[in-house]
Amino acid sequence: MRTIGLLGGMSWESSIEYERLINEGVRAALGGVASADLIIRSYNFAEVEALQAAGDWDAAGALLASDASRLETSGADVVVLCTNTMHVVAPAIEAAINVPFLHLADTTAAAIVDQGLSTVALLGTRYTMEQDFYRGRLVSRGLEVLVPDEPDLTLVHDVIYDELVQGVIKPASKQAYLEVIERLVERGAQGVIAGCTEIELLVAEDDVAVPYFPTTRLHAEAAVTFALTPSELEYHTD
C-alpha cells in the first residue's frame, strides 16, 4: 500500500470526511482490520480563510506548497488536497513536489464523462464558481458548466462560510440549495457537482433528481485506488 499525504483542515469537517472515506475504502478492498496509510497536515482554517478573503493567493499557495513538500519528505507517495477552493493554488503545490498530485477537478470530470453528461451545474464557494481554475479543467474535458445567477450564487457561498464550515446544518438552507439546483436544472444542467466538500454534509444524492457528483467521495475513491495500485503501474484518473 502506498502512503497518502492529506492537505486538509479547510475546514476540518471535510478533513474528517476524507479520512473516513479513505479508510473505509481501504478496509472494503482489503478486509479485516486494514486501514489507510495516511500523513495529515491539518490547518487552522481561520488563517487560511483570512488569506482567501484578502485575495492573497500567493501566500496561500506558498503555505500549501511548503507543506506538500513536507508530506513528501515524510514519506507520502501522493498528495491529496482536501478542499475544492484551494485548488486555485494547485500549480504551486505541483511545482513543489515530485510525487503525483491528485487534482480534484480531474477526478470529478472523469466521473461526469463516464456518465455521458455534457452539461453540469457547479455549486461551491464564490471562488470556485466564478474563477477558472476549477471550471476550466471541466471545460477542457468538453463539459459545459453552469453556475447560479445572483442572488443564488451569494446564497450558496454564504451558507458554506456562515454555516457549513462551522458545523451548522440548517433544514432551511438545505431547502434553499435544492431550489437553486432546480433552477439550474431548468437552465439545462443534467447533473450537479457538490463543488465544496462541506456541501455533501447538507445535500445528499437522494435529495436531487439528477446525477449528483460528491467531489469529496470521488476524490477519496481516487486516492484509495492510487494507494492500492502497485507502484510499478501507471495510475490514470480518466
Directed axis angle between helix 12-30 and helix 215-228, to 10°?
Answer: 40
Annotation marks residue 229 as catalytic: no
Are the beta carbons of 78 and 99 closer than 8 angstroms? yes
Residues 217, 148: Cα–Cα separation, whole Å = 23
Angle at the Cα of 126 from the Cα atoms of 137 and 118, rounded to 5 degrees: 35
Judge whether 82 counts as a catalytic residue.
no
Catalytic residue, chosen from 83, 85, 107, 237, is 83
**Residues whose CB falls within 8 Å of the CB of residue 36, separated by 6 or more in sequence, listed in order:** 1, 4, 19, 22, 23, 25, 26, 224, 227
Check 196, 197, 215, 216 and give the catalytic one: 196
Which residues in 134-144 are b (16+ Cβ under 10 Å) and which e? bbebbeeeebe
**Residue numbers annotated as active site:** 83, 196
